[in-house]
Structure 1
Amino acid sequence: MKYILSVAVILCLAFSASAQDAELLAPTPPGPFIKFSEMSHDFGDIEQGEKVEYTFEFTNTGDAPIVISNVLTTCGCTASSWPREPVLPGTSSKIEVSFNSAGKIGHQNKVITIMSNATNNPERVKIVTNILPKTDS
């Protein structure tokens, strides 16, 4: 019985690993495809009232131009700028995000949704931070 259970566990692990490998090796579908170099950025601890910024870089790994139509944020405290011109295949660009921590406290997780004509539309990146109370100086 132990032998059968051991074999079943080994087969499950092997299947799981091969499924993950297949996903990593899957070819990019035809059309534009947006690939971010980083899907999340953690600012760590910041003081309430601080404004922080981060730039998410991406590459068009597809075979057609990407046109970003909109970048949506989870609240008005995050702002963004993005390329308004098409991003050609094989080229890179960036999306700039800023976060104003005024009036916020504690752990924050803000999702930025990128709307485009890419085959992996919509794509999401996020910023994370922990806002500490403002210290009196």
Structure 2
Amino acid sequence: MKKYLIFIFLLPALAFAQTQTAEPAKQADANAPVFKFNEETFDFGSLPQGTPVTHIFTYTNTGKSPLILSQATASCGCTTPSWTKEPVAPGKTGTVSVTFNAAKDGTFMKTVTLLSNTGNAKYIYIKGNVIAKANPNGEENPKQ
């Protein structure tokens, strides 16, 4: 009987000893750099097919340490980002230039993902409507 009671009390103790304790949530670094964009979405409106267009997004580092933008990736090959490669000091500004090649007609919304030393990815967007070019005989191109 003693063995049975010891087993009953020991089994739950061993079972609960295997559970992991939750780690406390990471506190945001008070000295980390911070993106502050003048705008995060730009609307080109209507634009003619076959005409590349560019918009320059401006951001300010509102944090307390230099901001380093390490990568800018577009959601498709029709969009090409370029950015300030040097560290942006606190209170200073940097830019992300986004060029869209309006090859296909129709509405579009493209995302550019920005990776930096802020710890989180940042997203900026371009959108608009590409108007189809007219054929030489005056007709619009049919949608493909």
The TM-score with structure 2 as length reference comes to: 0.71
Shift of 1:135: 2.2
CA–CA separation in structure 2 for the residues paired with 1:66 and 1:74 = 23
Residues matched between the structures, number: 108
Identity %: 39
CA–CA separation in structure 1 for the residues paired with 2:118 and 2:95 = 15
Aligned residue type for 1:109: M
Aligned residue type for 2:73: L
Shift of 1:65: 0.5
Q: What SS does the aligned partner of 1:88 have?
A: coil
Residue pairs, 1:68-87, within 5 angstroms? 68-87=69-88
Larger radius of gyration: 2
The TM-score with structure 1 as length reference comes to: 0.74
Residue pairs, 1:40-119, within 5 angstroms? 40-102=41-103, 104-119=104-119
Question: CA deviation digits over 1:14-67, x for unaligned, max 9?
Answer: xxxxxxxxxxxxxx9431001100011000011111110000000000001011
Note the residue ranges of structure 2 that are not aligned, 5 or more in a row: 1-28, 137-144
CA–CA separation in structure 1 for the residues paired with 2:92 and 2:135 = 47
CA–CA separation in structure 1 for the residues paired with 2:133 and 2:41 = 25
Which has the bigger relative contact order, CA under 8 A and spacing at least 6? 1
